[in-house]
Amino acid sequence: MQLSTDQLLTPSGETSKVDFISGVTILIDKPIGWTSFDVVNKIRFKIKHGLGIKKIKVGHAGTLDPLATGLLLICTGKLTKSIDLLQAKDKVYTGTIHVGATTPTYDSESVPDAMYPTDHITPTMIEEARLSFLGDLRQIPPVYSAIKINGSKSYELARRGSEVEMKARPVRIERFTLEVDTLDEQKEIAFSVLCSKGTYIRSLAYDFGNALDSGAYLSSLRREAIGEYHVKDAFTMDEILAFLDQAFGQ
């Protein structure tokens, strides 16, 4: 699905007449520390207050974790019906993987729970591990995710101490590139990934560590693109809030 120019809200687009009820999709560069819901809630509040209405549908096409940054597609009004189509698009991520440790959340949101040797890792091992993740895979999502199990989110069950069994899901990784072929003292590897809907980059980092006979976790993440929509065309939060204030004469 490709949106027409009057349905797409970007800083450089035509923004003189915006119909939030009929629906627009707003490109947002989500800052670190914000949840996807924080962004949706803030924009919904601004639109409701600006239009003087009590209710309007606002949603996002694909969650980003609080520590991740990058492209978030926000849909309003009738265009919230297009969220599933937007979510189905391939996505591009960049970030860093820390090798030599694991965390319960598979990222830097939690502290390492185990340390692993890295001296044995060679450029050949790194390349073989990289190649092993290309194509169609079955990936086990992180326990600390929003996947629902018997009506409860898996991360809620995990935080309560319940044992959670995550089932493998089919995903596809079209591209997985690394900026280095050896580890430095910081044991950080920068990467870029083009992947299908449903791919957990945290799980990719964790599995990458296993493939190196070590451990790893996702130390940073940025979503660069969703289908044909790119973060370079997105509003920052300050920009979208200023735009909405101006649009509603506030």
The CATH number of the domain holding residue 127 is 3.30.2350.10
Lowest mean pLDDT among 45-59, 69-83, 150-164, 165-179: 150-164
Only one residue has tokens 């601004």, namely: 46
109 and 73 in a common domain: no
Round to whole Å and give the CA distance between 52 and 116: 57
Task: Report CA-CA distances (Å) from 66 to 70, 95, 246.
Answer: 11, 14, 28
Residue 152 has pLDDT above 90, yes or no: no
pLDDT, mean of residues 49-72? 94
Q: Where are the beta strands (DSSP E) in 68-142?
A: 69-76, 91-99, 101-102, 114-115, 135-139
Enter the tokens of residue 81: 């019906």
46: domain CATH number? 3.30.70
pLDDT band at 30 (very low <50, low <70, confident <90, very high): very high
214 and 102 in a common domain: yes
234 and 220 in a common domain: no
Known catalytic residues? Answer: 65
Round to whole Å and give the CA distance between 184 and 118: 10
178 and 77 in a common domain: no
Round to whole Å and give the CA distance between 145 and 156: 9
Range of the domain at 12: 5-88+228-247
157 and 36 in a common domain: no
Residue 106 pLDDT: 95
- As a whole number, the mean pLDDT across the chain is 90
pLDDT, mean of residues 43-57? 95
130 and 28 in a common domain: no
pLDDT, mean of residues 203-208? 97
160 and 204 in a common domain: yes
113 and 185 in a common domain: yes
71 and 22 in a common domain: yes
Q: How many independent structural domains does the chain possess?
A: 2
Q: pLDDT digit string (tens) for 156-174?
A: 656 666 666 778 899 999 9
